[in-house]
Amino acid sequence: MKLTVEDVSTRFIKHFGGEPGQLYAAPGRINLIGEHTDYNNGFVFPGAVEQGMIAEVRPNGTRKVDAYSIDLKDRVQFSLDDEQGPKTTWARYIFGVCREMMALGVPVEGFNTAFAGDVPLGAGMSSSAALESVYAFALNDLFGENKIERMDLAKVGQRTEHKYIGVNCGIMDQAISCLGKAGHLMRMDCRSGEIAYFPWNPEGYKLVLVNSCVKHELVGSPYNERRLSCEHVAEVIKNRHPEVESLRDANYEMLEEVKDGVSAEDYKRAHYVIGEVDRVLQVCDALEAGDYEAVGQKMYETHHGLSEEYEVSCEELDFLNNIAKEEGVTGSRIMGGGFGGCTINLIADELVDNFKKVVTEKFKAKYGKDPIIIDVVIGPGARKLS
Ligand code: GLA
């Protein structure tokens, strides 16, 4: 589906009548490398995509929010002053953002809103971060004189996940949705918040997502458990090395020292993360040197780690990764939190068409359905639409 602004506007007027509201957009994301590193204070390397959420918003002079999800054909009302908020999950994202913006001192007033998205749900492309970011950006613009910095808008989205949805996510998805730049990947140090933009115009290569269509859902998944494993190992290492605040600060030697003091499972999780934090920096260097083979090699290493050590893969994603290897794809790995969703593939131009054909045929032969193939275009972050 290609989402158009007209679709959103037409629905808005159909449901709420009167004058049009103001339109905003915020994107989903890809991540070249740096998975499950954000909540370990490490580095990530995402880029915003063209696909995202579009929301139309019009203040209504009350304390109530009247929200319509165009995709789900569902309408929910809630009061800004209610402590509990709505039960419907999609509406809780909007409620959480309102409440967190209010907590920052933004005088949010009631509004009518309709929204729709073209980030495939459950594909690991952060449709929920796009939803949070589009509203954080809109409320800042409509009620907050744009006083809140984009990184703080991202944190509003992250707190919404933690406090209203129950996913203890890191900051990557919301940060790139708020701070993405067209044509650029963004390396972020998740401890200091420092950001560096890297132009993304790989000569002779393309990025292609293959969606296994296994629905990735972080709510109720072992995502929070993975985070706890990491924090636990970091704590055990800290007993011997007080300078270690998170796995970002640890190395393999430190991990070996505590091997007998942690479970075999936690050891594997930490082993993956320690390697992954380094891989992000190595990929940035390789990119600057134009060494795409090295970039791709690291992507395969990440897949291996996510599958064998972090154990967030599934049969379908491993199958897609193997086909990529067989077909000479330069780099391929699970993207995002895992447990389903997409692989991200770095492919030499001349192999792209054949890979798409072969991966579709083989996946269909095995699982009886087509995977969805998405060409990646790196787009801008959250914005007001004129
Ligand atoms: C999800 C989370 C992010 C990050 C990734 C894994 O997308 O929202 O914070 O942890 O998983 O890299």
Residue with the smallest CA separation from ligand 1 atom 11 is 337
- Domain-embedded: residue 47: yes
Residues in Cβ contact with 370 at an 8 Å cutoff, skipping those fewer than 6 apart? 360, 363, 364
218 has pLDDT over 80? no
The pLDDT of residue 136 is: 99
Residue with the smallest CA separation from ligand 1 atom 10 is 36
Please name the amino acid found at residue 239. Answer: N
Residue with the smallest CA separation from ligand 1 atom 2 is 169
How wide is the angle at C-alpha 324 spanned by C-alphas 323 and 326, nearest 5°? 60
Mean pLDDT taken over the chain: 96
- Domain-embedded: residue 91: yes
Q: Give distance in angstroms: CA of 164 to centre of ligand 1.
A: 17
Specify whether the CB–CB gap between 376 and 158 falls below 8 A: no
pLDDT band at 219 (very low <50, low <70, confident <90, very high): confident
**Could you tell me the CATH number of the domain that includes residue 163?**
3.30.230.10
Ligand 1, CB within 6 Å, residue ranges:
35-36, 38-39, 126, 169-170, 172-173, 336-337
2 has pLDDT over 80? no
pLDDT band at 386 (very low <50, low <70, confident <90, very high): confident
Domain region containing 41: 5-201
Query: Which range among 86-95, 158-167, 214-223, 311-320 shows the weakest confidence by mean pLDDT?
Result: 214-223
Length of the chain equals 386
Q: What percent of the chain has pLDDT over 90?
A: 95
Q: What atom of ligand 1 comes closest to residue 169's alpha carbon?
A: 9
Residue with the smallest CA separation from ligand 1 atom 8 is 169
245 has pLDDT over 90? yes
Residue with the smallest CA separation from ligand 1 atom 5 is 337
pLDDT band at 4 (very low <50, low <70, confident <90, very high): confident
Residue with the smallest CA separation from ligand 1 atom 9 is 170
Region 263-291 average pLDDT: 97
**pLDDT tens readout for residues 334-385:** 999 999 999 999 999 999 999 999 999 999 999 999 999 999 999 999 999 9
Region 295-322 average pLDDT: 97
Annotated catalytic, 141? no
Q: Give distance in angstroms: CA of 15 to centre of ligand 1.
A: 34
| Per-residue three-class SS string for the chain | CCCCHHHHHHHHHHHHCCCCCEEEEEEEEEECCCCCCHHHCCEECEEEEEEEEEEEEEECCCCEEEEEECCCCEEEEEECCCCCCCCCHHHHHHHHHHHHHHHCCCCCCCEEEEEEECCCCCCCCCHHHHHHHHHHHHHHHHHCCCCCCHHHHHHHHHHHHHHHHCCCCCCHHHHHHHHCECCEEEEEECCCCCEEEEECCCCCEEEEEEECCCCCCCCCCCHHHHHHHHHHHHHHHHHHCCCCCCHHHCCHHHHHHCHHHCCHHHHHHHHHHHHHHHHHHHHHHHHHCCCHHHHHHHHHHHHHHHHHHCCCCCHHHHHHHHHHHHCCCCEEEECCCCCCCEEEEEEEHHHHHHHHHHHHHHHHHHHCCCCEEEECCECCCCEEEC
- Domain-embedded: residue 196: yes
The pLDDT of residue 3 is: 67
User: Considering its fold, how many domains does the chain have in total?
Assistant: 1
Q: Give distance in angstroms: CA of 11 to centre of ligand 1.
A: 32
Q: Give distance in angstroms: CA of 275 to centre of ligand 1.
A: 17
- Domain-embedded: residue 174: yes
- Domain-embedded: residue 85: yes
Q: Give distance in angstroms: CA of 142 to centre of ligand 1.
A: 29
- Domain-embedded: residue 89: yes
- Domain-embedded: residue 45: yes
Please name the amino acid found at residue 89. Answer: T
Specify whether the CB–CB gap between 262 and 256 falls below 8 A: no
**pLDDT tens readout for residues 175-217:** 999 999 999 999 999 999 999 999 999 999 999 999 999 987 7
Q: What atom of ligand 1 comes closest to residue 161's alpha carbon?
A: 8
**pLDDT tens readout for residues 8-30:** 999 999 999 999 999 999 999 99
Residues in Cβ contact with 256 at an 8 Å cutoff, skipping those fewer than 6 apart? none
- pTM here is 0.97
User: Rg of the Cα trace of the chain?
Assistant: 21
- Domain-embedded: residue 99: yes
Q: What atom of ligand 1 comes closest to residue 36's alpha carbon?
A: 12
Active-site entry in 118, 173, 266, 318 = 173
**pLDDT tens readout for residues 105-132:** 999 999 999 999 999 888 899 999 999 9
- How far apart are the C-alpha atoms of 246 and 233, rounded to whole Å? 9
Mutate to test the pocket of ligand 1, among 35, 162, 173 (most ligand atoms within 8 A of CB): 173
Q: Give distance in angstroms: CA of 170 to centre of ligand 1.
A: 6
